[in-house]
Structure 1
């Protein structure tokens, strides 16, 4: 089967802009003008499920820090991020069995919704190491983007496991933008720079804690998010279901029962209404999985076996059979034919 799918650059879900607009306005900036200056549509501010190029997002953040005279822009923005930026996934992540499972869901979320980076955690002795890996290349100054990413990761972990959690130390692979005191105040830990790897180091004992229940405010926000999605999509139930499947893939919450519950519908009612639109839940699930698969196969180096797992397939064979049926060739062959120049074979992305 031939295909005319375009091959996008590394992309990131526009939910990553959470907190950006009010921060820019508080510093006297004009959000829409800044977005347009970097080739980004102002509509990204109202559609958290849209995809924007990671490189343009990173350039936007760097420009904000310079033009608004705010060297700690990334850290300030990270302070305004948390579970709410995950959309419908935030409704499911508190159902994880414990901190380790919750961290795994967060890592899968990043791998599926930001092609430009991934995170990996491991326990060595009595220490938990949470590593950040960056996949996109170029001469762009990404320090503000990196500080937002590391800072937001810490805030997510704190919201998931406990606000009192503090890293034992933090390592960043770039030179500092702000004062040492500012980094110490944000992370509440010693911070070193020009390191080989971005990493947050914790006492592994945090993995024995219970997950923090979602606050009433977070539940209200997430419920409001889903209601907003319903309003925006109107009668297009299929579009609504696709969006929720895409968001909940990292938690394995993309089955009929979970999606119906998020929409406050009985599973049979959801199926009946989808049939009235000429489709079905399994069809939408497969289409959504294949869309995510094409996105990663064309622009990232994520191994096919890992991608199969992230998409919720029991094994790589099951994923390959579905992909072959939809595209006329196995995923590895499709990648060779559609990979963006400079992304294949760079040796990055083999660990999660």
Structure 2
């Protein structure tokens, strides 16, 4: 079984928050094998375990046990992408939650939300499975905070839950949690999540437009038709993710997927591929984007694409595209940076 993946959208607002707390977000992202530039591609899949470790590391280095709550404050309903369109048109909060639970795999394979109702109370439980043994405190608090925000968005800012529960211990200072949730907090509970009145879930969604509901559902169905990512798809995405970090190898990809290298080879072979062909395809795609832009010098590009020397990169590029990197950059309409005018031979 491969490890669960999450979309980069899970880290919306991370860069700004980290900097506001005097952290180095680029260094932290790279320390868990995440590409800082990838945050601009919110629909890209990355290992859930990397996101989980990043949040824990950031909370530790900033000495902020409320790090996840601060991150949640930077999120909007639109962070859920196309799913947000359908959620806001559901007739009530119960329908919106059921929709979120049904399609949660679209954004985070490691997130598991369940809901049960009894005696006038509804319990909405959230759990995180990163696919490896690692602390999940911050990720769990982020998930619970997002559920709370969703309900408050639908029910109004004056709505508050009956209680908020966490399986982990109470922080040394829970004042930030008190302010965020505005409800009794129960730490050391047997589940993490939110308890609400079922009558709250029946309240009409003040944002919903019945005339748009059918169209929103049809739109969502067109986006969720594809099956879950295959191992081959995940290998391709991980190669694209790991290449710019300089740590792209079949061993690293296999570790990210929670399998051994033989399993990766076997799955690729079923699709008529090898790791080398996948790697070359990713290099071609990244090279065209990086060389055509101005952000990186040719030496930096050669390093990020895992070439031993700039001249090796230049020869490979010429074989692929029939011209040197410098010629490609000139034809794309961008002048090379001063630091890159002579770092790769023509």
Correspondence 1:14 to 2:14: no
**Which secondary structure state, in structure 1, belongs to the residue aligned with residue 219 of structure 2?**
coil
Q: Which moved more, 1:51-60 or 1:87-96?
A: 87-96
Corresponding residue for 1:156? Answer: 150
Q: Which residue of 2 aligns with 1:23?
A: 17
Shift in CA distance, 206/213, structure 1 to aligned 2, threshold 3 Å: same
Deviations 1:265-296 (A, max 9, x none): xxxxxxxxxxxxxxxxxxxx7xx613x1647x
2:279 matched residue in structure 1: none
Task: Tell me if the contact between 1:9 and 1:340 (Cα under 8 Å) persists in the aligned partners.
Answer: yes
3-state SS of 1:141 partner: coil
Query: Superposed, which structure 2 residues align to 1:319-334 within 5 Å?
Result: none
Q: Secondary structure at the match of 2:15?
A: helix
Secondary structure of the 2:125 match is: strand
Is the CA contact 1:159–1:212 (under 8 Å) kept in the aligned structure 2? no
Q: Name the CA distance, whole Å, in 2 between partners of 1:118 and 1:252.
A: 24
Counterpart of 1:130 (choices 124, 127, 131) is 124
Residues 174, 255 of structure 1: CA spacing in aligned structure 2 closer, same or farther, 3 A cutoff? closer
Q: Identify the match of residue 289 of structure 1 among 226, 229, 232.
A: 226
Secondary structure in structure 1 of the residue aligned to 2:49: helix
- State how far apart, in whole Å, the 1-side matches of 2:33 and 2:161 are: 37
Structure 1 pair 252–133 and aligned structure 2 pair: CA distance change class (3 A): farther
CA–CA distance in structure 1, aligned partners of residues 26 and 206 of structure 2: 36
**Comparing 151-160 and 108-117, the one that deviates more:** 108-117
Would the alpha carbon gap of residues 163 and 176 (structure 1) be closer, same or farther in structure 2, given more than 3 Å must change?
same
Residue 210 of structure 1 corresponds to which residue in structure 2? Answer: 204
Aligned equivalent of 1:253, options 204, 219, 223: 219
Instruction: Determine helix, strand or coil for the equivalent of 1:96.
Output: coil
- 1:138-197 per-position Cα deviation (integer Å, ceiling 9, x unaligned): 431211111111111111221123222211111101113351332222211111112221
1:193 aligns to what?
187
**Which structure has the larger Rg?**
2
Secondary structure of the residue aligned to 1:289 is coil
Cα distance change on mapping 1:155 and 1:254 into 2, 3 Å: closer
Q: Could you tell me which of 92, 103, 128 is aligned with 2:97?
A: 103
Alignment of 1:69-108 (within 5 A): 69-108=63-102
Which one of 135, 139, 163 corresponds to residue 169 of structure 1? 163
SS in 2 for 1:58: helix
Task: Tell me the secondary structure at the aligned position of residue 253 of structure 1.
Answer: helix
Structure 1: tracts of 5 or more residues without a match: 1-6, 215-247, 260-284, 299-338, 342-352
Q: CA deviation at 1:27?
A: 0.9
Give the C-alpha shift of residue 127 in structure 1. Answer: 0.8
Match of 1:63 among 57, 61, 72: 57
Alignment partner of 1:33 is 2:32: no
Output the CA distance in 2 between the equivalents of 1:43 and 1:121.
36
Q: Is the 8 A contact 1:72 1:178 kept in 2?
A: no
- Alpha carbons of structure 1 residues 87 and 198: separation in structure 2 relative to 1, 3 Å: same
The count of residues paired between Structure 1 and Structure 2 equals: 232
Q: Which has the higher contact order (CA 8 A, sep 6+)?
A: 1
- Whether the 8 Å contact between 1:122 and 1:128 is mirrored in structure 2 is yes
CA distance in 1 between partners of 2:199 and 2:131 (Å): 36
Deviation at 1:255, TM superposition (A): 5.0
TM-superposed CA distance for 1:137, in Å, is: 4.9
- List alignment gaps of at least 5 residues for structure 2: 209-215, 235-256, 260-346
